[in-house]
Amino acid sequence: MDALQALVLTSTQLRDMLTEAARQGASLAVAELRADLHQTPEDATLQKLRSYLADPASLPDPQDHWAHSDLIRRVQATAHGKPKSTAWFMKFQRETGLNECRTRQSPAYGRRREWTFADIGLAWGVYYRTR
């Protein structure tokens, strides 16, 4: 028969351990909620788009997520830390065929067009594979 290790705690010790674990869990949850509150919806979409472009498996439903040109231009900053130019985006659309993909009008910005993450990902791959 193998010997088993055992840990014996008093009820006070157990209560203190559980209280401390609950405090740490609550602290982590509050920190995460605060970070979410300080993030604009556009920043959250940009972060999600960057994650998707880095790892397409990170998002199970890329057809259900949309981004407009300003977000696409902000995926990779220029050497000066600014978003890519509108001219860059026009070239990107033409060379990758993104301009022929299905779009929708932005619910937040009216006339601004948006593309699905799936289409953006395909265009991104084409554009940067040929560079």
For 86-116, letters b (16+ CB in 10 Å) and e give eeebeebbeebebeebebeebeeeeeeebbb
Q: In which domain, by residue range, is 103 found?
A: 41-129
Whether residue 121 lies inside any domain: the answer is yes
Q: Which residues contact 17 (CB under 8 A, 6 or more apart)?
A: 9
Whether residue 59 lies inside any domain: the answer is yes
Cβ atoms of 124 and 115 within 8 Å: the answer is: no
Whether residue 11 lies inside any domain: the answer is no
pLDDT at 11: 95
pLDDT at 5: 87
Model confidence over 78-89: pLDDT tens digits? 999 999 999 999
Whether residue 1 lies inside any domain: the answer is no
Model confidence over 87-99: pLDDT tens digits? 999 999 999 999 9
pTM recorded for the entire structure: 0.70
How many separate domains does the chain show? Answer: 1
Whether residue 5 lies inside any domain: the answer is no
Whether residue 8 lies inside any domain: the answer is no
Model confidence over 44-68: pLDDT tens digits? 999 999 999 999 999 999 999 999 9
Whether residue 3 lies inside any domain: the answer is no
Nearest partner of 66 among 86, 81, 46, judged by Cα: 46
Whether residue 15 lies inside any domain: the answer is no
Model confidence over 3-41: pLDDT tens digits? 888 889 999 999 999 999 999 999 999 888 887 777 888
Across-strand partners of 115?
A: 67
